A = this chain, B = another copy of it.
Amino acid sequence: MKKSAAASRFSVNSATKTHSLHLVHPCDVCDVRPYSACAALNPDEQSRLVDIMTTVEVDAHQPIFDEAERAQHVFNVTEGAVKIYKLLSDGRRQITGFLFPGDFLGLTHNENYAYSAEALTHTKLCRFSRQKLEALLDEMPKLEQRLLGMASHELAAAQDQMILLGRKSAKERVVSFLIMLSNAAVRHGRPDNPVGLPMTRNDMGDYLGLSLETVSRALTQLKTQGLIQLLDERRVRLAKPEAMREIAGGV
């Protein structure tokens, strides 16, 4: 795949642009996803969206955008995995989400992005000009309903994360996380088990409000108790998913 020559963090797939209607299948904006079934776009609306869209690629561990940056684009993951995070001034980090194909990022009502985003693996995204997308919103209420549905879904997920961070033990957090990844895999049409871990222990800790050592110890403990098997460091089999859902605690 040819990289763009400019000093950009993105490689733009201009060659594929003309076929994009076919290529953007897992894109939440142009296509229907399970949790945004409320609004279906007609072919004309789809093509207007595709007109303001570019597909881009980002290598593993490369930034997609930074919190301080002006929010000029919104993105939809089509392949790969992404982490989004916020930093405190002394460097403490909170990962606020891991995103997979179909997930949306960069939506904000301010000048700047609300968080930073970085690719965990080699990642492909649909990129939309924010300005042009907002102009389309006035004319396409269905699209806006879809965005509202997605925001609403994200908000519910954020509240689940708050109860995890505020009230769950380390073991409960790690179990909840594995269940969450398994659920996300199903939602995105992949097998629910075993679960792939495209992020480091450090990333997991920064998502779960734990140190990387505590994450590692919790995984070891779950393995010892026969709840999981570590196929390799980045692949976990849930041996007793029902018992795990019980531990995760009803949320």
Contact = CB atoms under 8 A, between A and B. Distances in A.
Nearest to A38: B109
**Most central of A153, A156, A165 by chain B CB within 10 Å:** A165
Interface stretch (A91-99, A194-202, A220-228): A91-99
Task: Report the contact-size class of chain A (Cβ under 8 Å from the partner).
Answer: 35 or more
A interface: dominant SS: helix
Stoichiometry, as copies per complex, reads: 2
Interface stretch (A2-10, A57-65, A140-148, A232-240): A140-148
A32 B155 CA distance: 22
A115 interface: yes
Interface string A13-39: 000000000000000000000010010
Nearest to A249: B88
Contact of A94 (B108, B155, B166): B166
A92 B251 CA distance: 12
Given A151-B151, A151-B152, 17 more contacts: A35-B109, A86-B251, A88-B163, A90-B249, A92-B163, A94-B162, A94-B166, A94-B167, A114-B159, A144-B144, A148-B151, A151-B155, A155-B158, A158-B162, A161-B162, A166-B206, A166-B208
